[in-house]
């Protein structure tokens, strides 16, 4: 039996490690013990009543919560629930075949951590210090990893492709290779003649997997910008066409016209404004 390696991909400029979690525990509030802070927040464990929203559970997505570095007050728990409800709204907007790949979400309240992690059916999302727009955008990016690693997989019998790193194994017949190969020779080298304009954001240039997740985000939240940039860049046009025909079955999301610019590339997708209302109304 083939066991997929863990490929939870971090969406943050900072690298999260055990030392960071320990540091936040040691440097955080001292009202409760480190062990209590580190324990998952579940009904009965928290000093306050905490009943998670049931919507995700009804749809087969397991939810859990973790509060680190601060006292899990009623206000923190209320805001975790608020975070969950915002994410649920976005989840319902994702096409069914794609969202069904998501099996678990952990909502985090950390003093310092990556904003999101995604892969192999699981997403971790940081809930503190995030606006509704940024939270939605990070969630959509992580769904890109879920779709990439869940819906489109190759078979071990085909052998390893050139798109592998310490956290990801991609087999030669993985359909996503048709996307990766537009800009990537292998996991860490772009094709010859590649420029920054071949990517929707600067972050998309990190590796083929972030390229997929950022492009997926752009397809859903910045469809007008994506098609506008694709008019003057053949590789972006191929990425857009791949997503439209192979991932979204022809459905397009030309949903906003905010600050169209064919020559600008943002650091990442979450810094670009978009219409949350139009996205949630599936326009």
Site residues, Zn ion (CB under 5 A): 9, 11, 210, 213
> Where do we find the tokens 């087969």?
60
User: Token pair for residue 248?
Assistant: 């979204």
CB of 209 to Zn ion, least distance (A): 7
Measured in whole angstroms, the distance separating CA 181 from the mean position of its chain's CA atoms is 21
CB of 279 to Zn ion, least distance (A): 19
Cβ closest to Zn ion, residue 50 vs residue 163: 163
CB of 145 to Zn ion, least distance (A): 6
Cβ closest to Zn ion, residue 174 vs residue 268: 268
CB of 70 to Zn ion, least distance (A): 26
Residue whose C-beta lies closest to Zn ion: 9
Judge contact between 43 and 50, C-beta under 8 A: yes
Report DSSP letters for 93-129, one per residue: HS-HHHHTT--EEEEEEESS--SEEEETTEEEEE-TT
CB of 127 to Zn ion, least distance (A): 18
Cβ closest to Zn ion, residue 21 vs residue 213: 213
Cβ closest to Zn ion, residue 174 vs residue 214: 214
Helices (H), 43-104: 55-58, 74-93, 96-99
Judge contact between 122 and 149, C-beta under 8 A: no
In degrees rounded to 5, what are phi and psi of residue 108?
-110, 145
Cβ closest to Zn ion, residue 11 vs residue 107: 11
User: Token pair for residue 179?
Assistant: 């996307």
């Amino acid at each position: 039996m083939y066991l997929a390696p863990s490929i939870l991909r971090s969406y943050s400029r900072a690298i999260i490690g055990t030392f960071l979690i320990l540091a936040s525990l040691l440097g955080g509030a001292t009202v409760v013990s480190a062990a209590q802070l580190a324990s998952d927040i579940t009904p009965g464990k928290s000093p306050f009543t905490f009943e998670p929203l049931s919507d995700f559970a009804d749809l087969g997505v397991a939810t859990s919560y973790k509060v680190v570095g601060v006292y899990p007050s009623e206000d923190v728990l209320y805001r975790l629930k608020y975070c969950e409800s915002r994410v649920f709204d976005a989840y319902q907007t994702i096409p069914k075949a794609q969202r069904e790949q998501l099996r678990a979400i952990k909502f985090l309240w950390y003093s310092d951590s990556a904003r999101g992690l995604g892969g192999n059916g699981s997403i971790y999302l940081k809930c503190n210090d995030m606006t509704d727009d940024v939270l939605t955008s990070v969630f959509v990016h992580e769904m890109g990893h879920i779709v990439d690693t869940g819906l489109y997989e190759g078979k071990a019998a085909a052998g390893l492709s050139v798109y592998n790193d310490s956290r990801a194994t991609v087999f030669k017949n993985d359909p996503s290779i048709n996307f990766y190969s537009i800009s990537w020779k292998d996991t860490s080298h772009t094709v010859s003649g590649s420029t920054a304009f071949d990517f929707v954001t600067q972050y998309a240039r990190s590796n083929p997997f972030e390229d997929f997740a950022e492009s997926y985000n752009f397809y859903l939240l910045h469809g007008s910008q994506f098609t506008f940039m694709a008019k003057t860049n053949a590789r972006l046009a191929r990425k857009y066409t791949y997503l439209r025909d192979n991932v979204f079955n022809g459905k397009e999301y030309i949903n906003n016209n905010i600050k169209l610019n064919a020559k600008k590339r943002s650091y990442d997708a979450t810094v670009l404004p978009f219409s949350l209302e139009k996205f949630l109304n599936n326009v």
